[in-house]
A and B are shown apart, each in its own frame.
Chain A
Amino acid sequence: GDSVTQMEGPVTLSEEAFLTINCTYTATGYPSLFWYVQYPGEGLQLLLKATKADDKGSNKGFEATYRKETTSFHLEKGSVQVSDSAVYFCALSVSLGGKLIFGQGTELSVKP
């Protein structure tokens, strides 16, 4: 079945470090791909999305490129801030109804 696998956390970085969170997927058909973020005490928020191969989603300095050949959608940011500390979820959608299939989440902790 369709699934998403993320790198395990927690990931701990110093401020201004480079961030990569790996995400790979298995899907029948052509999924849309998403990154959601959950800040402490808050609900899930859409961070970025890509709907077809080679699309790059970007928002708030984060980027992810839809790679069909490697079935990946890795999240990157050039310089993280303490305020980026959160749990990041990779997700896909293949159905007409748009239901999301999530990875297990990766906790990011950024230290000053």
Chain B
Amino acid sequence: DTGVSQNPRHKITKRGQNVTFRCDPISEHNRLYWYRQTLGQGPEFLTYFQNEAQLEKSRLLSDRFSAERPKGSFSTLEIQRTEQGDSAMYLCASSSTAGFNQPQHFGDGTRLSIL
């Protein structure tokens, strides 16, 4: 079990730049989730995929955010025209749909810092 892998671990960028994060889920998991966590808070749901279909998006996901999972394996989260308020830890999780309410396995996250 290789776990959920996220890259990069840290990203520092200037305001207004675009950034892209990658998540590789556990190989047999067909659900993939993105969350955002700010300091001192719990993770907040952004969006999730079942296979390649994006099935739910939070209102937190503004037009500047886009996520893809083109082949139902890895996923990318892109933020365009970054703003100071985008500074956060971006977490990816995956789960299986076999059985009821399978637990989500989290990656170590990508920490985004906007200068």
Contact = CB atoms under 8 A, between A and B. Distances in A.
Size class of the contact patch on chain B: 20 to 34
Contacts of B21: none
Contact of B101 (A44, A45, A93): A93
Q: Interface of chain A, helix or strand or loop or mixed?
A: strand
B85 interface: no
Interface in A53-81: none
Given A104-B41, A104-B42, A97 B31 contact: yes
B50 A46 contact: no
Contacts of B104: 46, 98, 100
B106 A44 contact: yes
A93 B31 CA distance: 14
A34 B41 CA distance: 16
B95 interface: yes
Contacts, number: 61
A67 B45 CA distance: 25
Contact of A97 (B35, B50, B107): B50
Contact of A102 (B43, B107, B108): B43
Contacts of B106: 36, 43-45
A102 B42 contact: yes
28 contacts: A36-B106, A42-B108, A43-B107, A43-B109, A44-B43, A44-B106, A46-B105, A49-B101, A49-B103, A97-B48, A97-B50, A97-B56, A98-B33, A98-B48, A98-B102, A98-B104, A99-B33, A99-B45, A100-B35, A100-B43, A100-B45, A100-B93, A102-B42, A102-B44, A103-B42, A104-B40, A104-B42, A105-B42
Given A34-B103, A100-B33, A100-B35, 14 more contacts: A32-B101, A42-B108, A43-B107, A43-B109, A46-B103, A49-B103, A51-B101, A89-B43, A95-B56, A98-B102, A99-B33, A99-B56, A101-B45, A105-B41
